[in-house]
Amino acid sequence: MTRPPLPLHTPEWFTADDSTLNVALVYPMQGPAGIFGPTCGACARLAAEEVNKAGGVLGKELRLIEVDGGAEPWRVAEDVEALVASGAVQGVTGWHISSVRQAVAPRVAHRVPYVYTALYEGGERTEGVFMTSETPSWQLLPAMRLLAESRGVRRWFVVGNNYVWPRHTARAARGYARESRGRVCGEAYLPLGTDDFSGVLRRIERADADGVLMLLVGSDAVRFNRAFAAWGLDQRSLRLSTLMDENMLLGSGAEATLDLYSTAGFFASLADQNTMDFHGQYAGRFGLEAPTPGSLGESCYEGVLLLAALVERARALDVAAIGAAADSVSYEGPRGLLGLDGRHVRQRIYLARADGYDFNVLAQLRAPHDLR
């Protein structure tokens, strides 16, 4: 049987042999999410180097094969499937939007372990898929509840890109708003790559929203922040995002992030020992001018560590064996000592407020054991 051709961007040095464990690293190199793509790649490479310094995985060198997760979902799925079917990779990880995950998972997750690192809408149950990041019930619910209590937010307007993560998250947000004695008073969904937000801004203004829930990806969120501030809405409505890192703050500009909140399992400004160790390693490897490793890029570091821990614990690459051992897996990284529950990583969740080009962490919303 003829093996499928490898993706065109497979590196020239690539060879598959028994001395290496090759992993497809799928992250955005183009499109709205490309703004934090460089830090995704850097964080994953740093984690792979750390794993290899500690002896590799099952005694093998862990190597990353990069795949552009910013392409059309069907294209990404074809590229990843070609790598898996040819035996070129024995695992998949990385940050990419849910539309890409939904295209990739059914084609490869039953063959190789797939560690998905992006925050997402919840509900992924495909065998062989493991999640390192946040879901709405862990991340958004406590944030909306706290902002209702502390800032009196009762009327929410949702602005999201038009695909599965924003729409499913907004559905959950309607219930969360009701739990906090509020409601969602308007919703708008825009294509990826939108640069004209005037119609949405008029709707937010007419709705007299106390808070805007931003479910926009990367540079779309950057452009929205600028337009929101230019319209003067930052003087009347706070913003809350579950997908906002320091690189996006930098792109938005300090004048466009007044009263902007973010909730995540990691912020670069956290000052605990795990975070400081990570920053020291990152700066030592890539220099002080490297892109800031915010929560989105750092999640790729988590993904590599979890994939290595899963394989080591199972002592095998077989997806069934890895799944059977998953609940006993733990690993330690920038987010602390973490384990799995139902193939999701248990972790602390924080609420932060933008302060120029950084985040001021205000509160811990959930502890690692507080899952529901």
Reading the chain (372 residues) residue by residue, the pLDDT tens digits are: 344 455 545 554 455 567 899 999 999 999 999 999 999 999 999 999 999 999 999 999 999 999 999 999 999 999 999 999 999 999 999 999 999 999 999 999 999 999 999 999 999 999 999 999 999 999 999 999 999 999 999 999 999 999 999 999 999 999 999 999 999 999 999 999 999 999 999 999 999 999 999 999 999 999 999 999 999 999 999 999 999 999 999 999 999 999 999 999 999 999 899 999 999 999 999 998 898 999 999 999 999 999 999 999 999 999 999 999 999 999 999 999 999 998 999 999 999 999 999 999 999 997 666 543
**Residue 9: predicted pLDDT:** 52
**Residue-level pLDDT at 16:** 55
State the distance between the two ends of the chain, measured CA to CA, in whole angstroms: 48
- For residue 271 the two structure tokens come to 């000052």
CA distances from 286 to 38, 41, 294 (A): 11, 11, 15
Longest dimension (CA), the chain: 64
Residue appearing with tokens 């059309």 = 72
* pLDDT at position 283: 96
Instruction: Please give the helix or strand (H or E) that residue 77 lies within, else none.
Output: helix 73-85
| Per-residue model confidence (pLDDT) at position 333 | 95
Give me the pLDDT at residue 274, please: 93
Query: b vs e for 328-356, b when ≥16 Cβ sit within 10 Å of the residue's Cβ?
Result: ebebebbbbebbbeebbbbbbbbbbbbee
Q: What is the pLDDT of residue 372?
A: 38
Tell me how far apart the alpha carbons of residues 78 and 89 are, in angstroms, rounded to a whole number: 14
Tokens representing residue 316 in the block: 């095998």
| Cβ burial, residue 83 (10 Å; 0-12/13-18/19+) | buried
| 38's tokens | 């460089």
Residues 297/42, Cβ–Cβ less than 8 Å: yes
Long-range contact pairs involving 187-191 (C-beta distance under 8 Å, separation at least 24): 187/157, 187/158, 187/159, 187/160, 188/157, 188/158, 188/159, 188/160, 189/160, 189/161, 189/162, 190/159, 190/160, 190/161, 190/162, 190/216, 190/220, 191/161, 191/162
pLDDT at 142: 96
